[in-house]
């Protein structure tokens, strides 16, 4: 994050009722105030304090793993999270899925003119909180302000750097026939929580998004000596889309029993009402683990103890489950055994799931 070195006196502290204006993106005193008051104050660490053009980092043992993601969500604040928490968890989770320990994040903000400073501060605070809980440092960043109507309030990009120890890389090429497929918790909470928070749906629910870092659980599996072959965090497109992507990359058949996939009542009810398939509803704090078949039971135990530690919604249990196995054929496909015992194909949706007419 670049701080201008102009010696002019700074304007008074930012008013909580203030709005972001184009001047905040202009590179002058207002921008400096915004960066110091909102960003640097929350992301306080040696690199932020240095205020250099980039962060000069320390190498950690293992190989570097790099990822990036951009976050656009409406509404920005939803039950159980906000765009800031998503922006940290999403990128941390992507690193964790490679077997890496996440260490550093960068962040870029695109803010729409007129956005409230108080909301911006809320988002930045929740990023700082999520980063602390995931054990990562936000080391550098960038801010741009665009004219009203050119962005939906706020867009955030994060890039993440982590390190993976030799032999612990989890990737599609390690998946083998006979591997077990597990999911770290019940699916569909984030998508339904966001839908319910949108204006006009009239869907009342106490449901919270599952938004959370999964790096701890992923690490726990590896540290327990479980032979983890591949992991994939569930995001847009849900469990089904993650499995379809994996099946395509490993060119084997992922066979699941859809009755074993944990879905809590509130999610099922909303999905039934709206005509959505919970397997395709978004998640932000769940992942699929593909492990050596013989390790399935132990993997389930570790996931269960991690889930218990992470559960914040006392109303409903948050259950990991063994949902299927890897087979040879039909290669590149995901088959789901339905409640009737018949198998159906899980494919990729062509776009977003759209609620039906009747």
Is 206 near another protein (CB under 8 A)? no
Element (H, E) at 336: strand 334-337
Radius of gyration for the chain, computed over Cα atoms and rounded to the nearest angstrom: 21
| Residue corresponding to tokens 């205020």 | 51
For residue 196, the minimal CB distance to another protein (Å) is 12
Q: Which CB, 56 or 342, lies closer to another protein?
A: 342
Which of 265, 294, 297, 308 touches another protein (CB under 8 A)? Answer: 265
Could you say whether residue 7 binds another protein (CB under 8 A)? no
Residue 350 as a binder of another protein (CB under 8 A): the answer is yes
Show the tokens assigned to 312: 């914040």
On whether the CB atoms of residues 92 and 160 are closer than 8 A, the answer is yes
DSSP 71: E
CB 180 within 8 A of CB 299: yes
Among 201, 220, 224, 304, indicate the residue that binds another protein (CB under 8 A): 201
Nearer to another protein, 214 or 267 (CB): 267
Q: Which of 267, 219, 211 is nearest to 235 (CA)?
A: 211
Of the candidates 6, 66, 275, 328, which one interacts with another protein according to CB under 8 A?
Answer: 275
Asked if 330 touches another protein (CB under 8 A), the answer is yes
Nearest approach in angstroms of CB 40 to another protein is 39
Question: Does 17 help bind another protein (rule: CB under 8 A)?
Answer: no
Out of 6, 10, 177, 273, the residue judged to bind another protein by CB under 8 A = 273
Q: Decide if residue 149 touches another protein (CB under 8 A).
A: no
Point out which span in 22-30, 92-100, 263-271, 291-299 binds another protein (CB under 8 A). 263-271
Peptide bond into 75 cis (omega under 30): yes
Measured from the Cβ of residue 324, the count of other Cβ atoms closer than 10 Å reads 26
Distance of closest approach, residue 272 Cβ to another protein, in angstroms:
6
Query: DSSP per residue over 128-144, as a string?
Result: HHHHHHHT-EEEEEEEE
Closest alpha carbon to 152 in 83, 233, 206: 83
Distance CA(212)–CA(209), nearest Å, equals 9
Is residue 61 at the binding interface for another protein, with CB under 8 A as the rule?
Answer: no
If you ran DSSP here, which 8-state letter would residue 235 be given? B
Residues 63-122 that bind another protein (CB under 8 A): none
Write out the residues near another protein by the rule CB under 8 A. 200-202, 265, 268-269, 272-275, 330, 333, 335, 338-345, 347, 349-351, 354-358
């Amino acid at each position: 994050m670049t701080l201008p070195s102009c010696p002019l006196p700074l304007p008074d502290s930012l008013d909580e009722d203030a709005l972001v204006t184009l001047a905040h993106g202009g590179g002058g005193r207002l921008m400096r105030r915004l960066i110091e008051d909102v960003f640097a104050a929350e992301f306080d660490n040696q690199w932020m304090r240095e205020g250099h053009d980039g962060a000069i980092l320390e190498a950690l043992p293992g190989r570097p793993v790099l990822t990036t993601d951009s976050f656009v969500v409406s509404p920005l604040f939803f039950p159980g999270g906000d765009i800031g928490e998503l922006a940290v968890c999403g990128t941390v989770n992507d690193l964790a899925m490679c077997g890496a320990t996440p260490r550093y994040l960068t962040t870029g903000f695109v803010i729409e003119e007129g956005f409230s400073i108080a909301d911006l501060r809320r988002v930045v605070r929740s990023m700082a909180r999520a980063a602390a809980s995931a054990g990562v440092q936000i080391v550098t960043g960038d801010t741009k302000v665009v004219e009203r109507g050119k962005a939906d309030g706020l867009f955030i990009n994060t890039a993440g750097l982590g390190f993976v120890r030799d032999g612990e890389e989890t990737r599609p090429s390690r998946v083998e026939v006979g591997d077990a497929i597990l999911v770290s918790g019940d699916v569909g909470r984030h998508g339904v929580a966001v839908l319910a928070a949108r204006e006009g749906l009239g869907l009342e629910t106490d449901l919270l998004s599952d938004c959370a870092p999964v790096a701890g659980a992923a690490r726990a599996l590896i540290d327990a000596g479980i032979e983890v072959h591949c992991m994939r965090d569930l995001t847009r497109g849900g469990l089904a889309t993650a499995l379809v992507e994996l099946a395509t990359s490993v060119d084997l058949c992922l066979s699941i029993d859809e009755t074993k996939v944990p879905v809590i009542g509130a999610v099922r009810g909303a999905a039934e009402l709206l005509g959505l398939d919970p397997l395709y509803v978004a998640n932000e704090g769940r992942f699929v683990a593909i492990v050596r078949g013989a390790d399935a039971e132990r993997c389930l135990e570790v996931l269960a103890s991690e889930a218990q530690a992470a559960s914040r919604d006392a109303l409903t249990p948050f259950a990991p489950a063994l949902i299927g196995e890897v087979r040879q054929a039909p290669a590149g496909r995901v088959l789901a055994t339905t409640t009737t015992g018949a198998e159906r194909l899980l494919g990729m949706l062509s776009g977003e799931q759209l609620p039906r007419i009747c």
